Structure 1
Amino acid sequence: MNDIFKPKFFTLLKEGITKEQVISDIFAGIIVGIVALPLAIAFAVASGVSPEKGIITAIVAGFIISLLGGSRVQIGGPTGAFIIILLGIVHQYGIEGLLISTMMAGVILVLFGLLRLGTLLKYFPHPLIVGFTSGIAVVIVSTQMKDAFGLNIEKLPSEFLQKWELYFTHLSDMNLYALAITLVTMMIIIYSKHITAKIPGSFIAIIFITATVNIFNIPVTTIETFFGTISNEITFSLPHFDLNNFTMYLAPALIIALLGGIESLLSAVVADGMIGSNHRSNTELIAQGIANIATPLFGGIPATGAIARTATNVQNGGRTPIAGMVHALTLLLIMLFFIDFAKLIPMSCLAGILLVVAYNMSEWRSFVSILKGSPFDSIVLLTTFLLTVLVDLTVAIQVGVVLSSLIFMKRMSDINTNIPIEDDSDTVENYSDLSEGISVYEIGGPLFFASARQYAQTIKTVGFSSKVLIIRMRHVPFIDTTALHNLKETIKALRDTGIIVIMSGTNNTVFKDLMQHHIIAMIGEENVFKKFSAAVKYVDQLILENKV
């Protein structure tokens, strides 16, 4: 158990945290708390629950995830990825059903961690992740049109196309004040970062817009007119659970657990790249699970690692879990003493914030890049995207994983006939004859989504102990988008520390893919060789010229 569950906070406490770092973490936590406030409110409202539930989630789950998690800097709380799932659960099962599904998802996440499945969740294909993330972004946009245009619609249908049909039939009821507020909110968020990077644009927008609306009595819907008074009390209560309904809640619980696990580990990986650390996947999953079991007991909704808030934490000097705990305490103080201000926030202002969130999470550049690449990856991307938007996220992930596996088998069966392999026959078996500081790592077989992360991690480990790393790819028949994505991040990390990366033995197909994804440009075309012997000769010349 000790090997599986080792919270970073207690490890760092044992090693010792400097006074300077504690002060830096406190300031970072306060800033992240301010950033999290409008997002927590917006995500709760968009998910079909009252605003305080979003704040409670950020407080309770945020504190637990930082205290018990496997990352130094992960910030937990409600996120945009959950919106479409939670909205569907609330419509179908009510608030009570959402709380029960969240607690069940927490149990599943704890089991994932105990069964050491933390590494497996990282193996989802990159096109699948981009597909459902972009799909979620589109669905978020579709849920916010009502408030963005100030349309007088009592209840929105859950189906994507029916929503838009309803919007078009109500366009004549548009509130131009609401539309103007939405656009101004978006402009403030986008352009305020050019004036100040310390104060988040969403916070500036909420303060400015709310004050303006109330001073000039602008006729738009606010949180108070929509939800009534917001409570600043955090109460403990057990949701009523009927065992006969267990199977009914299992499907939504499983999708909450899968999505929460994937997003939290993705966020942790991004954070690792920013601070040069390594998170503990299984510990992180267990902490996420405990947080999702505890949060509904106080009326909260599902929580996971939040990439944007985690990045904000790092950018403001946060380096230990203290920052995440301070972020939760900051939100608690705001809820206790300033909640009356929150009820005055216009719904169109929250819509503007969520539209910017949707744009940021859409990954449209990655979407376009994948479409320009392999047709196989494009099939997975578009299938997952369309199923997320038009059917259901659960179906999208299931079909995406199965489709990725089938396509991989198809590509493997085509290797002998369709992919000419350049055999690098000039083989040096005894790498000990190479000059000191030169390491060689040979990849055997296809580089695809299931093996990509393990290869990338091994290349990074070997590379960091070298001055020059030669990656031999003579036996790699093809490389998919997931592998290209991971390989690019790995090579960037190595080059950022001054390590020279050389490649040898790539076939024409692999070379073309590496070129298309700008990996050849990153390495330098002069550092790519058909023959391993030529690569070794080149490195020896660099050593003679004292360039290594």
Structure 2
Amino acid sequence: MPVDARRFALTPKLITVLREGYGVDRLRRDAVAGLTVAIVALPLAMALAIASGASPDKGLATAVVAGFLISALGGSRVQVGGPTGAFVVVVFNVIAQHGYDGLVLATLTAGLMLIAAGYAKLGSLIRYIPHPVITGFTAGIAVIIASSQVKDFLGLSIDKLPADFIAKWQAYFSALGSVQWEALVLGVASFLLILALRRSAPRLPGFLIAVIAASFVATLLQLPVETIGSRFPDLPTGLPAPSLPDISWAKLQAVMPSAFTIAFLAGIEALLSAVVADGMIGSRHRSNQELVGQGVANMASALFGGLPATGALARTATNIKAGALTPVAGMLHAIFLLLFMLLASGLMAYVPLAALAAILFVVAWGMSEHERFMRLLRMPGGDRALLLLTFALTVLVDLTVAIGVGVTLASLLFMMRMSRTVAIAGGLDELSGDMEDEREDVGQRDGLPRGVEVFRIEGPLFFGVADELLDILRRVGPTPKAVILRMRRVPLLDASGAAALEQIVTQACAAGTHIIFSGTQAQPLDMLRRHSLGLNGRQVTHRASFTEALQLAAAIADPSTDPKGSTLS
């Protein structure tokens, strides 16, 4: 890629927009969209922070700092970032294991990983994560988020809620006798109000309306329900001063797995959201710059004591539907949120936790992608097993384990399927009608010369089929004087495949057999050269076509034959 193209790929969309020209009309539309998204993000940021085991101000600080930088430095025109449901499980576990300072260090490290990934041009790798893996752990996260809100939704009296999924539900069943009916009624009413507004008036900010209505009813009737103010009596106003967490090698090692998970989730969710946004506005994001922007935003969020952040699909869609044209809309959304924090932080204390739990139930349902989940259950057995295993590991074990196992199993499944596409055929009868020029087979079907064997390999020759190649070639009957390996239909050769061919050549040399490669493509030929098999010698020869290879093989088997044909250097 030329230097100018690389620079362009790592240029924030904001710079591109400003170069195009930014006028009053664009500012007006972006301001309306930014205010709309801020109204949606206000209750959501608080709810996600509480579900993650943090205070609501942490969620708002994340939405302000990270939200501003994701829009300002990202590679999408309309992406809106902030805390999302995907991080709830990870954040909760990190705080439980390493404290909040450990979370800040993990988020800071994840930001560095994302920046490195962007400059390493890894943004395009998102397309290689299989849908069963993404859907499986996203649905698993949705189940965990919903499970974490049962206590506040029912108003249960539980001193310390276990982090483990099964232990958590055991605690719920044990505490069913302490259900607070006022909280349950308020939560159900908030949930139904959100659903009703989504159906009848989807343009209205249903989350905010539900929170305001629940707060008004709880305050007016003096309901004995838990609120943000009762659980977090000393909420700060505005943003804290930036500071670095305590950093030590031991602590860094301890939070590294969580940092990798945060970076992985942030990258995947941000790029998926950007792809969806591209489809809605007919644009194209810069994936590598998006990763860089996400990395800087997460580092900044950590410095301000915030949570991990990424592109938020629901808020991005709201931004687009509200008329956003440029990244300025996302930046203004963060500024409006900061104004809310400065001017209306006192009102947050009256928000019932049951109403926030209702919001997260709706968020979890949207995250679950239940329709896609059901469609994947109708897929072949391998995809179905991958989906269910990733889902089960996410819910019952750990998100990091689920990601690692899911991606690894998907890779193995893919390689197994690819290995089945590789065909290895021997003998002229099986070669008739193959993919080489038909003229190469004319006059050759009457039989091979005595002492010559031919094998055609079709498909990528990688480590998944290397052993199969060795087994087939070992089954050759009497030791031939020459073996032709037809390579025209081998588009890819990896190190293991080349090693298998090297082993074949070594065994052939020991038996006095000459190996001839015919029609080898550029990439496999380069790999063979790296294994010292690209140059003629060591009883290895290359020919450009099968006709030339057959002439040479006949000459080797019967020296009285005069071989003709050009070599492939």
Instruction: Provide the rounded CA distance (Å) in 2 between the counterparts of 1:385 and 1:408.
Output: 19
Instruction: Provide the rounded CA distance (Å) in 2 between the counterparts of 1:72 and 1:103.
Output: 25
Instruction: Provide the rounded CA distance (Å) in 2 between the counterparts of 1:97 and 1:126.
Output: 31
Q: Secondary structure in 2 aligned to 1:372?
A: coil
Counterpart in the other structure of 1:391: 397
Equivalent of residue 155 in structure 2, options 123, 126, 150 = 150
Q: Structure 1: which 5+ residue stretches go unaligned?
A: 418-422, 428-443, 447-474, 476-548
Equivalent of residue 175 in structure 2, options 155, 170, 177 = 170
Deviation, structure 1 residue 4: 4.4
In the TM superposition, 1:359-438 aligns within 5 A as: 359-415=365-421
Equivalent of residue 103 in structure 1, options 108, 127, 135 = 108
Equivalent of residue 345 in structure 1, options 345, 351, 356 = 351
Equivalent of residue 241 in structure 1, options 247, 271, 293 = 247
Instruction: Provide the rounded CA distance (Å) in 1 between the counterparts of 2:371 and 2:350.
Output: 36
CA shift digits 1:50-73 (9 cap, x unpaired): 110100000000001111110000
Instruction: Provide the rounded CA distance (Å) in 2 between the counterparts of 1:226 and 1:397.
Output: 34
Instruction: Provide the rounded CA distance (Å) in 2 between the counterparts of 1:20 and 1:54.
Output: 32
Counterpart in the other structure of 1:450: none
- Contact 2:145-2:364 at 8 Å conserved across structures: yes
Instruction: Provide the rounded CA distance (Å) in 2 between the counterparts of 1:117 and 1:49.
Output: 31
Counterpart in the other structure of 2:310: 304
CA RMSD across the alignment: 1.9
Instruction: Provide the rounded CA distance (Å) in 2 between the counterparts of 1:181 and 1:261.
Output: 36
Counterpart in the other structure of 1:315: 321
Amino acid at match of 2:193: I
Equivalent of residue 62 in structure 2, options 32, 57, 64 = 57
Instruction: Provide the rounded CA distance (Å) in 1 between the counterparts of 2:419 and 2:248.
Output: 49
CA shift digits 1:222-260 (9 cap, x unpaired): 111111132113122221212332211211111100011
Q: Secondary structure in 1 aligned to 2:123?
A: coil
Q: Secondary structure in 2 aligned to 1:153?
A: coil
Instruction: Provide the rounded CA distance (Å) in 2 between the counterparts of 1:221 and 1:122.
Output: 44
Deviation, structure 1 residue 156: 1.0
Equivalent of residue 334 in structure 2, options 321, 328, 333 = 328
CA shift digits 1:273-311 (9 cap, x unpaired): 100110000100001000111112112110000000000
- Does the C-alpha gap of structure 1 residues 145 and 321 become closer, same or farther in structure 2, counting only changes over 3 Å? same
Deviation, structure 1 residue 344: 1.0
Instruction: Provide the rounded CA distance (Å) in 1 between the counterparts of 2:413 and 2:238.
Output: 52
Q: Secondary structure in 2 aligned to 1:240?
A: coil
Instruction: Provide the rounded CA distance (Å) in 1 between the counterparts of 2:50 and 2:183.
Output: 17
Instruction: Provide the rounded CA distance (Å) in 2 between the counterparts of 1:126 and 1:240.
Output: 38
Instruction: Provide the rounded CA distance (Å) in 1 between the counterparts of 2:143 and 2:289.
Output: 32
If the length of structure 2 is used for normalisation, what is the TM-score? 0.73
Amino acid at match of 1:256: I
Instruction: Provide the rounded CA distance (Å) in 2 between the counterparts of 1:250 and 1:122.
Output: 25
CA shift digits 1:470-506 (9 cap, x unpaired): xxxxx9xxxxxxxxxxxxxxxxxxxxxxxxxxxxxxx
- Contact 1:130-1:366 at 8 Å conserved across structures: yes
Greater CA radius of gyration, 1 or 2?
2
Q: Structure 2: which 5+ residue stretches go unaligned?
A: 1-5, 424-432, 438-457, 461-488, 490-569
In the TM superposition, 1:20-35 aligns within 5 A as: 20-35=25-40
Identity across aligned pairs (percent)? 49
Q: Secondary structure in 2 aligned to 1:119?
A: helix
- Contact 1:4-1:116 at 8 Å conserved across structures: no
In the TM superposition, 1:146-545 aligns within 5 A as: 146-236=151-241, 237-415=243-421
CA shift digits 1:312-349 (9 cap, x unpaired): 00011012001001100100000000011111111111
CA shift digits 1:142-197 (9 cap, x unpaired): 11111111001111111101111110011011111111111111111111134433
- Contact 1:31-1:199 at 8 Å conserved across structures: no
Deviation, structure 1 residue 121: 2.7
If the length of structure 1 is used for normalisation, what is the TM-score? 0.75
Tell me how many residue pairs correspond in the alignment.
Answer: 425
Does residue 139 of structure 1 match 2:144? Answer: yes
Q: Secondary structure in 2 aligned to 1:152?
A: coil
Instruction: Provide the rounded CA distance (Å) in 1 between the counterparts of 2:377 and 2:139.
Output: 13
Instruction: Provide the rounded CA distance (Å) in 1 between the counterparts of 2:392 and 2:299.
Output: 32
Instruction: Provide the rounded CA distance (Å) in 2 between the counterparts of 1:199 and 1:330.
Output: 18
Counterpart in the other structure of 1:83: 88
- Contact 1:122-1:262 at 8 Å conserved across structures: no
- Does the C-alpha gap of structure 1 residues 166 and 317 become closer, same or farther in structure 2, counting only changes over 3 Å? same
- Contact 1:229-1:343 at 8 Å conserved across structures: no
Amino acid at match of 2:371: R
Instruction: Provide the rounded CA distance (Å) in 2 between the counterparts of 1:380 and 1:424.
Output: 36
- Contact 2:107-2:298 at 8 Å conserved across structures: yes
Deviation, structure 1 residue 410: 2.1
